[in-house]
């Protein structure tokens, strides 16, 4: 008989099963992954060319930063948020939830893979854009930007977990809500423009998005908006100067992850109580 794991760490370690599973899926669907990567790159390059059109190197940098950040955050968010929808579509949702693994370990495994895949996605986009746009990033605090993305990913993971629960409550409406929220997130997070460009009522909502704060911090760390800063001689700011943004992202992450896990468990209980795990609509 299958014996219980002796410690919480061993239980968490079980989550690597889902890293392995998703890795196999990626291998099998690798041509699709490349196709979507190509699509993502073309879309990203389109944004960069807006800056080229205005012959403004700082605008190019501004848009490139937005593109790389959004590539990372949206890939991370999607991979986690759509995990239930995808499993339901594949007809394996009940089997997955019947496996002998805690929900924390299961979702941790999904999250780890999501993070690695998002990193790969964003890394390829960043490299491609560097070659495409030929930007000189000397003077930028790139390590700071990497740390910002790492802290920002905590909050995006939490958001992803919250949204992953939606299809457990309602299969069809849940998926629609997921998609709508993701599109809304890119709008209010001021990824490709400063927050001040948004209508006033959306500016208030922008403060709720962790990505808004990640973008604000990343721009300062790159030296965007700093007087005298330009590609080749960027005046990237120190981590200390973006302390408030980093603190906010960390707080949102530390709050949203347990909230997401709790919501997911509650939604799972609800789905089992109402018999909705098997439903497709």
Partner 1 sequence: MPNGASLIKKAAIEVRDLCRSFGGIPALKGLSLAVKEGEIFTVLGANGSGKSTLIRILSTVLLPDSGRVMVLGHDVVRQAGEVRRIVTRVSVDPTLDRQLSPRENLAWLAPLYRQKPAAVIERCWPMLRRFGLKESDFHRPVRYLSAGSRQKVAIVRALISSPAVLVLDEPTTGLDPVSRQEVHLFVRAINRTAGVTILLATNDLAQAEELSDRIAIIKDGKIVLSGTVAELLELGPGARNMKEVFFRVAGYVPSKGDMVRPEGFLSGVA
Instruction: Give the C-alpha separation, 166 to 63, whole Å.
Output: 32
Encoded one letter per residue, x for contact with partner 1 by CB under 8 A and - for no contact, window 19-48 reads -xx--xx--xx-------------------
Stretch that binds partner 1, among 43-51, 153-161, 230-238, 271-279 (CB under 8 A): 271-279
Residue closest to 154 by CA, chosen among 118, 186, 125, 203: 118
Tokens of 69: 């950040």
Stretch that binds partner 1, among 5-13, 163-171, 178-186, 193-201 (CB under 8 A): 5-13
The size of the interface with partner 1 (CB under 8 A), counted in residues, is 34
Instruction: Give the C-alpha separation, 193 to 37, whole Å.
Output: 23
Say whether residue 17 binds partner 1 (CB under 8 A).
yes
Cβ proximity to partner 1: between 25 and 169 the closer is 25
Q: What's the first-to-final CA gap in the chain, in angstroms?
A: 37
The half-sphere exposure of 1 on its side-chain side, counting CA atoms within 13 A, is: 2
Give the CA angle between residues 152, 156, 157 to the nearest 5°: 115
Stretch that binds partner 1, among 7-15, 172-180, 203-211, 218-226 (CB under 8 A): 7-15
**Ranges within 167-186 binding partner 1 (CB under 8 A):** none
Encoded one letter per residue, x for contact with partner 1 by CB under 8 A and - for no contact, window 70-109 reads --------------------xxx-xx-xxxxxx-------
Distances (CA, A) of 99 to 42, 93, 167, 251: 40, 10, 19, 32
Tokens of 274: 């109402």
Residues lying near partner 1 in the complex (CB under 8 A) are found at 1-5, 10, 13-14, 16-18, 20-21, 24-25, 28-29, 90-92, 94-95, 97-102, 269, 272-273, 275, 277-278
């Amino acid at each position: 008989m299958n014996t219980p794991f002796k410690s919480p760490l061993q239980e968490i370690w079980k989550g690597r099963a889902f890293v392995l599973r998703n890795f196999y899926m990626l291998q099998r669907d690798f041509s699709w992954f490349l196709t979507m990567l190509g699509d993502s790159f073309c879309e990203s390059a389109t944004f960069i060319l807006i800056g080229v059109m205005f012959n403004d190197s700082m605008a190019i940098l501004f848009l490139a930063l937005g593109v790389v950040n959004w590539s990372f955050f949206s890939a991370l968010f999607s991979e986690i948020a759509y995990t239930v929808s995808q499993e339901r579509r594949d007809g394996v949702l009940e089997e997955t939830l019947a496996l002998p693994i805690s929900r924390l370990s299961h979702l941790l495994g999904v999250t780890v893979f999501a993070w690695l895949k998002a990193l790969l996605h964003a890394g390829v986009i960043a490299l491609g854009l560097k070659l495409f746009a030929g930007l000189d990033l000397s003077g930028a605090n790139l390590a700071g930007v990497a740390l910002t993305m790492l802290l920002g990913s905590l909050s995006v993971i939490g958001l992803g977990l919250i949204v992953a629960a939606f299809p457990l409550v309602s299969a069809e409406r849940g998926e629609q809500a997921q998609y709508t929220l993701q599109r809304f997130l890119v709008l209010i997070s001021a990824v490709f423009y400063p927050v001040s460009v948004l209508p006033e009522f959306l500016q208030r909502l922008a403060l709720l998005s962790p990505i808004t704060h990640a973008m604000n911090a990343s721009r300062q760390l790159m030296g965007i908006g700093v007087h005298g800063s330009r590609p080749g001689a960027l005046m990237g700011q120190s981590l200390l100067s973006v302390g408030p943004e980093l603190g906010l992202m960390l707080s949102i992450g530390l709050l949203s992850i347990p909230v997401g896990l709790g919501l997911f468990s509650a939604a799972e209980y609800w789905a089992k109580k109402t018999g909705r795990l098997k439903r497709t609509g």
